[in-house]
Amino acid sequence: MNISELLLLAAIGFSGGIISGMFGVGGGIIIVPTLVFFMGMGQHTAQGTSLGVLVLPVVFLAAYNYYKSGNLDVKYGLVIALTFLVGGYFGSKISLGMGDLMLKRIFGILMIVGAVKLIFFSK
């Protein structure tokens, strides 16, 4: 893992943490697509790595299945998990300073953008 990969993984973890802190989501909406589009991972490995970020205790068994099949990058997952923790703190602070309507609109736009990318663009 080189420094640019480390910085990109940290950015993925931090932004996933912010989104999680703001909206209660992060893995499927932020981590999986960014690992696919920016790190060049396959969908299964990105999903397995995203689950690995949240491995204890919530999704241990699902992540373990991905790990057994070779679709969980443990090093990437650990970097993202550490920065996700910090991002979650700041995301919750940002979210608590917003009104409900603004938060709903931002979340809706995020969902639309993610859906369009997944439906119409392979990478």
Q: What confidence tens digit (pLDDT) does each residue in 31-63 have?
A: 888 898 899 998 888 888 887 887 666 677 778
pTM of the shown model = 0.64
**85: Cα separation from own chain's centroid:** 12
Could you tell me how many residues make up the chain? 123
Residue pLDDT, tens place only, 53-101: 876 666 777 788 889 999 999 999 999 989 988 998 898 888 888 888 8
d(CA 47, CA 33): 9
Q: Residue 16 above 70 pLDDT?
A: yes
Instruction: Pull the structure tokens for residue 54.
Output: 């949240």
The structure tokens 């809706």 sit at: 108
What are the backbone dihedrals phi and psi of residue 116, each rounded to the nearest 5 degrees, phi first?
A: -60, -45
Query: Domain extents for the chain?
Result: 3-120
Cis, bond preceding 33 (omega within 30 deg of 0): no
Cβ-contact 45, 112 below 8 angstroms: no
